[in-house]
Structure 1
Amino acid sequence: MKSYIGVLRSPGAWRFLIPALVARLPFAMLQIGILLLVQWATGSYGAAGLASAAAAIAQAVVGPQTGRLADRHGQARVLIPQVALHAGALGTLLLLAAHGASLLPLTVFSALAGASMPQVSSMVRARWSHLLQGSGRLGAAFALESITDELTFTLAPVLLVAVSTVFSPVWALALALLLVLAGTLVFARVRVGAPTPAPASSRASGVLRLRGVALLAGGAAAIGTVFGATQVGVTSFTAALGQPGSAGAIYGTFSAASMVGGIVYGARKWRWSPSRRLVLLLALLVFAAALPSVAATAPPALTYGFMYAAVALAGLVIAPAVITAYTMVERLVGAEARTEAYTWLGGAIGLGIATGAAIAGRLTDAFGPAAAFLVPPAAVGAAALVLLLRSASLTPIERPGSSNPPDERPAQKALDAQDIVLPPLTASRCPVMNRAPGEARNATASATSIGTPM
């Protein structure tokens, strides 16, 4: 706890942390909010799923580009026009929905709203990297970001659904719009920890061309399938047993276990290099993510208990895996490109969530709930194998602005635990779309309970 207190006492930290928290709540509200809004406007869950998916894909694709612009031109010069564009897109979407517009314009402006969502979470991480570079407190700062992500993605959807239920989805997203405007504008004005803009020439090739980054993005996408497929599997599992309301408690167990796993993992100093830890954690995740499939086929008297235990074990493993993937970004990418790199991993997790949910939904329709839980071990297993075979590409090399040495000699391994971060997961944790209306409604309500990715 002393290291966490030391981080929070960093000069000026609270000045950007508080507005950043306000701005990150709408980030976690957007996709579920669009789902509720479009379903309310059209009466179709299929249309709502399409619009929400458009927002998720646009955010995953465009987010890294805005991260690149922030690295090049500075955070404030990107955030202010970006949040203005987001306000215009989301405001137009609300007006269109309120006046009964057709699906096409609703989908277009949903995509624009997703593409223009300010990437505040990645920018906070970039500020910590700049502010505490070379400090033993950097790991604690990233661990705090992990906790913030978990809380944001747990509480924000609850607030959104509550306002939607009492008033309407229009008012819920209007609240999100006000929060993102206020939080982002204040955050942009606070310059504490803001990285110095990098010259354009140093950014010409793009982050994905840097050593190991594309491999990490692939691993992050595989991790994302755990969230998406587990969400589908749990929703269909509880619905098949006639107790759809219990899905929320199971999701909560998964999220709580993920938070505990992340906190415990981040509090320790590890002698193994991050690359070795990542491969090992992915191997463990293959096993842990397959356990819910076994639980779904257990005898009725035992199946619920087994399911709670299975998702808890998966949650305990997945947070350290995500943390280690983000650790590697800080080690592999120089300070001039980290914002973009963080958004690439967050976008990859989001795409993994969407892909895992889509595949799991089709398998569930064809073979039942247990089949949905087979998607994560297959995806994560493939990623672990690729990373094992290409592990040399994950060895850090010395870069300008990096706080890490070019090798991984034993004397340096104590530094490995200093680079710990949990992503904005997911900015795409949206509920399953390929469900019948009644099930989709349950999935939407249950999605408010799941946090981890971001």
Structure 2
Amino acid sequence: MGATRRQKGSAVATRPGYRQLLRTPGIWSFVLPGFLARQPFAMLTIGIVLLVQHTTGSFAIAGAVSAVTGVAMALGAPQAGRLADRFGQRAVVVPGALLHAAAVCALLTLALADAPLWALLATAVPAGASVPQVGPMVRARWAHRLGGGPLMPTAAAFESVTDEFTFVVGPVLATALCTGVHPAAGLAAEAMLTVIGGLLFAAQTRTAPPASGSEQGAGPRSTALSIPGVRVLIVGFLGIGAVFGGMQVSLTAFSQAIGAPAINGVLYGVFACGNMLAGVACGVIVWRSSPRRRLPRAYAVLALASVPLWFAASAGSPVLLGAVGLVVGLTVAPALITGFTLVEQLVPAKVRTEAFTWLTGAVAFGQALAATAAGQLADGLGAEAGFLVPLVGTALAALILACLQGRLVPAPHGPEDSVVVRGPVTVCRSQWTRAMEYCTMERR
């Protein structure tokens, strides 16, 4: 009994966690610049919504401009990921950051000049398409640095926490600048941070995964998108985008409706704070079930948590809405982390950045659709109606994931790429062992 307890205690003590992860040599050289470089991502859409709504007086128009930005981001992100895999991250980040800053400056200038809607939409396209995909690039650096080892789930959780910390700081900062300094100050700060952070991140070349230099994935057919599991995850991440987009526009409309626009950033920060706290917890939990099994359950819980949003907004209480938003945030991180963990199992290393950008692009696209729908509902039926968008989006995603769960099984990638399956399955390269891994996961 004593020996057994000592063995269990030793196993617990050696479980990989944040302390071991953050002691990995060389990781801080890309973690810190990566955090600064991804900060503008959390400021862009909320900055557009606040500026355009101020200049036009319409949440529907603000949501439409934000939606076009999100669609362009969703379409441009995978292309940027493919180019980064082929030519290296620096070759994509530097020109992308400069182009994005120029496009954002043009957008805010046109908005302040009361330009027609078509001009705003036309400028929103390059502003969204050129957003540097720093988050997926940082995840690709983690995978390259760790070599697909047992610390990868912890790294995925750490990245989710980092993302959500940016969504705690970013919306609050953008809202404070737009309401306290100038309606265009949020977007101006976003453009400046994009250039500074992007250049600092691009300078860290030693930790970047090597460029493939090949034309694989450079043609019209995407290598990552040809994997069935990646396509299923894209659908699921549209639901995550529906939460972000629906919450941003609906919280803005709610704050305006109760006559306290400055509270918008606080409410969204509380929502993102819940996501961040759940991300921290996910990084220290040793999961007994496979990510493939956990993902549909995580989405089902997220959909259930979104149900009270409409009731809380109808009550007109920011405290109640903040509490419900916190619960919704707590359920977002498990879905995000599980999805990103599956990517490392589903795709070969040479197209991993592209796969990550497809998922972030799906979030941006879902966010765009949700922002448009929430804006229309808020203008037509009241601020509380927009909170139905996160519920509908996550419920549909949960249903689809439950039906297509069988496609989230890693397929052999070839002798140069090892597949990591956590739990009782070991890391192997032989085709026979891969077949056994497949059968083991099916039984689980």
Contact 1:133 1:403 in 2 (8 A): no
Counterparts of 1:120 and 1:130, CA distance in 2: 15
Paired position in structure 2 for 1:283: 300
Q: Deviations over 1:351-408 (max 9, x none)?
A: 2223234334444556556654444333323322222222221011232565534x78
Counterparts of 2:80 and 2:305, CA distance in 1: 35
Paired position in structure 2 for 1:432: none
Paired position in structure 1 for 2:215: 200
SS in 2 for 1:331: helix
Counterparts of 1:354 and 1:104, CA distance in 2: 17
Contact 2:63 2:249 in 1 (8 A): no
Where do residues 138-217 of structure 1 align in structure 2 (5 Å cutoff)? Answer: 138-165=152-179, 167-170=181-184, 172-198=186-212, 199-201=214-216, 204=219, 205-206=221-222, 207-217=224-234
- TM-score by length of structure 1 reads 0.78
Contact 2:106 2:123 in 1 (8 A): yes
Distance 1:304 1:164, change over 3 A: closer
Counterparts of 2:71 and 2:197, CA distance in 1: 24
Paired position in structure 2 for 1:352: 366
Distance 1:95 1:33, change over 3 A: same
Paired position in structure 1 for 2:268: 251
Of 375-384 and 232-241, deviating more is 232-241
Paired position in structure 2 for 1:312: 326
Offset, 1:48: 4.2
SS in 2 for 1:269: coil
Structure 2 counterpart of 1:265, one-letter code: C
Of 132-141 and 110-119, deviating more is 132-141
Paired position in structure 2 for 1:66: 80
Aligned length: 410
Q: Which runs of 5+ in 1 are unaligned?
A: 416-454
Structure 1 counterpart of 2:308, one-letter code: L
Distance 1:3 1:297, change over 3 A: same
Contact 1:20 1:121 in 2 (8 A): yes
User: Does residue 26 of the first structure (1) align with residue 43 of the second (2)?
Assistant: no
Distance 1:32 1:289, change over 3 A: closer
Where do residues 64-103 of structure 1 align in structure 2 (5 Å cutoff)? Answer: 64-93=78-107, 96=110, 101-103=115-117
Structure 2 counterpart of 1:152, one-letter code: T
Paired position in structure 1 for 2:424: 411
Distance 1:274 1:374, change over 3 A: same
Q: Deviations over 1:79-131 (max 9, x none)?
A: 22222322333344455556665544443223212211211111111111111
User: Does residue 268 of the first structure (1) align with residue 272 of the second (2)?
Assistant: no
Q: Deviations over 1:207-246 (max 9, x none)?
A: 2221211111111102222233344555556666677666
Distance 1:363 1:174, change over 3 A: closer
Distance 1:382 1:163, change over 3 A: closer
Offset, 1:261: 1.6
Distance 1:165 1:232, change over 3 A: closer
Of 187-196 and 170-179, deviating more is 170-179
Percent of matched pairs sharing the same residue: 42
User: Does residue 13 of the first structure (1) align with residue 32 of the second (2)?
Assistant: no
Counterparts of 2:109 and 2:318, CA distance in 1: 44
Contact 2:18 2:283 in 1 (8 A): no
Structure 1 counterpart of 2:34, one-letter code: A
Distance 1:99 1:126, change over 3 A: same
Instruction: Supply the RMSD in Å over aligned alpha carbons.
Output: 3.3
Q: Deviations over 1:298-324 (max 9, x none)?
A: 7x8xx7776454333322222101111
Counterparts of 1:167 and 1:106, CA distance in 2: 22
Q: Deviations over 1:131-154 (max 9, x none)?
A: 112323222222221121112122
Aligned to 1:342, which of 356, 373, 377?
356
Of 166-175 and 279-288, deviating more is 166-175
Counterparts of 1:357 and 1:28, CA distance in 2: 14
Contact 1:203 1:337 in 2 (8 A): no
Contact 1:74 1:196 in 2 (8 A): yes
Counterparts of 2:279 and 2:402, CA distance in 1: 23
Offset, 1:276: 0.7
Contact 2:229 2:346 in 1 (8 A): yes
Counterparts of 2:181 and 2:313, CA distance in 1: 37
Paired position in structure 2 for 1:136: 150
Paired position in structure 2 for 1:449: none
Distance 1:166 1:295, change over 3 A: closer
Distance 1:348 1:294, change over 3 A: same
Counterparts of 2:261 and 2:101, CA distance in 1: 36
Contact 1:230 1:373 in 2 (8 A): yes
Contact 2:240 2:332 in 1 (8 A): yes
